[in-house]
Amino acid sequence: MPLNVIGKNAKSFTLIKGTFHVTGYSPDGDSVRFKADHDTNWKKISGTPKKNKKGHVQLRYEGIDALETHYQPKVKGSHSEHQPLVFADAARRFNLERLGIKNVVWNAKQTKVASAQDGTRGYIVTRAIDNPRNGRPVAFVYSGNPGQADGSKIHLGAALVRRSVNYKLVSAGYAYPTYYPTVFSDLRDAFTAAVKKARSTKKGFWPKDKTGGFLFNGKQTLTDRSPLLPKLFRRLIEHLAGGGTLAGFRAFLHGKEDGVLILPQAHHTSALDAVVSVKGRKIALTVLPENLVFDEKG
């Protein structure tokens, strides 16, 4: 099944019923563990999800990216980093509340859920996993009962997307739009409308958002003070963890071949340096997040 098509929603999705789980895990604003009622339904999507001994799989929420609560750069000797926790934690709480998960108690280090009233009922709508290494179903996530049969093939339109937890996170200003080629144009339009409204009405992190430009005054600018598009945060943290300087950031981005399609011009570029500006200590994403479609990378 081709995953690089950008166009109308012509492909069907699979609806999979199951339960959501957080106890013993580290959920955040755009991920949670899910156990399908019937494992045979996983055979109806492209790729094989990675299941643990409990049959739980890690989901990746389609179309959005919430602030990082624990990002580990792939750099030897680096430490886990987070984005401003006032917003990252708010996104996580919102996510779990919308899934009906209550009484969440974290361990002393705030790294894992010690106990929770989880195992709540819900369903996902998915077509494929992200990649064989991660094995995460890329999904639209819902609480409750859909009214359709488990394992059924459905057409996913904007109306159904608006009922998803994904969409609700964006509408509340707790997640950025982050589009990959798997998000069809009609679904992007639904998310983008929600983003524009959340931004204009100053929901969630939007009044503090610094994606369009901020002055870098040390790593705490990223971790404690300035919410910004998580993909830009991850690239900056990775670069700095490897000993990079601000002056070398765009060259670092160019070398990663992290391609992106710029929607207004329908122009594809092979690296993110085309949409990132660095002038002294000022760093900015020069295109609104909802006008970008990223190639499939982390």
Residues 130 and 79 reside in one and the same domain: yes
Residues 242 and 178 reside in one and the same domain: no
- Give the pLDDT confidence score for residue 8 in this predicted structure: 44
Three-state secondary structure readout of 231-288 = HHHHHHHHHHHCCCCHHHHHHHHHHHCCCEEECCCCEEECCHHHHEEEECCEEEECCC
Q: How confident is the model at residue 7 (pLDDT cuts 50, 70, 90)?
A: very low
In terms of residue numbers, what domain contains 70? 13-200
- On the question of pLDDT at 32 being above 60, the answer is yes
Q: Indicate whether 2 belongs to any domain.
A: no
Q: What is the pLDDT of residues 164-175, one digit of tens each?
A: 999 999 999 999
Q: Indicate whether 273 belongs to any domain.
A: yes
Q: What is the pLDDT of residues 248-266, one digit of tens each?
A: 999 999 998 889 999 988 8
Q: Indicate whether 43 belongs to any domain.
A: yes
Residues 145 and 100 reside in one and the same domain: yes
- On the question of pLDDT at 296 being above 90, the answer is no
Q: Into how many domains does the chain fold?
A: 2
Q: Indicate whether 285 belongs to any domain.
A: yes
Q: What is the pLDDT of residues 49-95, one digit of tens each?
A: 999 999 999 999 999 999 999 999 888 888 899 999 999 999 999 99
Residues 221 and 248 reside in one and the same domain: yes
Residues 177 and 241 reside in one and the same domain: no
Q: Indicate whether 86 belongs to any domain.
A: yes
**What's the mean pLDDT when you consider all of the chain?**
94
